[in-house]
């Protein structure tokens, strides 16, 4: 439903704003995942943010009663995809949240270019895949 998409987007924006206003950090999840391995134990703000992401989903399951989506992609697609997401977000310094939600809001040229490129490459991937399956 589009109202939930907008409200959910607003929540994502508020979460990103709070992390910057309180902790001075960009809410870029790929970067935070990487940093969560480096921060000192007990003061690992990055790990707490990631635990928060899961907690947010748990709260949503609890209030909505929706047990969550079905993940039915075969592992032969899913795991190479996961590897590409990992390499690509390191090499490209960010993902949908860091470049798309925070970087664009900072009017960062790098983030605007990265977002256009990963959107374009994702559209192309799905298009090519649907052509191949259609054969």
Partner 1 sequence: MKVYSALASGTIFGFGLALSGMTDPANIIGFLDIRGQWNPSLAFVMMGGLAVTVPAFQLLIPQMQKPILVAVFALPQNTIIDAKLIFGACLFGIGWGLSGLCPGPAIAGLAYLNWHIVLFVLVMVVGMYSGDRITRLLFSAG
Among 4, 38, 65, 135, binds partner 1 (CB under 8 A): 4
The residue within the footprint of partner 1, chosen from 38, 65, 106, 132 (CB under 8 A), is 106
Determine if 43 is a binding residue for partner 1 (CB under 8 A). yes
The distance of closest approach from Cβ of residue 135 to partner 1 in the complex, given in angstroms and rounded to an integer, is 14
Query: What is the distance between the alpha carbons of residues 37 and 30, in angstroms, rounded to a whole number?
Result: 12
Residue 102 in the binding site for partner 1 (CB under 8 A): yes
Residue 122 binding partner 1, by CB under 8 A: yes
Q: Does 135 bind partner 1 (CB under 8 A)?
A: no
- Phi/psi at 28 (5° precision): -105, 115
Quick check: 113 binds partner 1 (CB under 8 A)? yes
- According to the binding rule CB under 8 A, does residue 91 interact with partner 1? yes
The answer to the question of residue 132 lying near partner 1 (CB under 8 A) is no
Q: Could you say whether residue 41 binds partner 1 (CB under 8 A)? A: no
- DSSP character string of the chain: -HHHHHHHHHHHHHHHHHHHHHH-----HHHHHHHTTTSPTT--HHHHHHHHHHHHHHHHHHHH----------HHHHHHHHHHHHHHHHHTT--IIIIIIIITTTT-HHHHHHHHHHHHHHHHHHHHHHHHHH-
Q: What track of x and - describes contact with partner 1 for positions 10 through 29 (by CB under 8 A)? A: xxxxxxxxxxxxxxxxxx-x
Site string for partner 1, 46-85 (x = CB under 8 A): x-xxxxxxxxxxxxxx--x--xxxxx-x-x-xxxxxxxxx
């Amino acid at each position: 439903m589009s109202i939930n998409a907008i409200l959910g987007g607003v929540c994502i924006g508020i979460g990103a704003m709070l992390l910057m206003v309180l902790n001075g950090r960009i809410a870029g999840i790929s970067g935070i995942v990487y940093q969560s391995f480096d921060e000192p134990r007990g003061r690992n703000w990055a790990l707490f943010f990631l635990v928060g992401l899961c907690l947010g989903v748990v709260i949503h399951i609890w209030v909505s009663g929706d047990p969550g989506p079905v993940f039915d992609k075969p592992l032969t697609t899913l795991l190479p995809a996961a590897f590409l997401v990992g390499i690509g977000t390191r090499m490209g310094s960010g993902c949908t949240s860091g470049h798309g939600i925070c970087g664009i809001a900072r009017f960062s040229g790098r983030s605007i270019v990265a977002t256009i490129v990963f959107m374009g490459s994702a559209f192309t991937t799905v298009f090519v895949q649907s052509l191949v399956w259609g054969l």
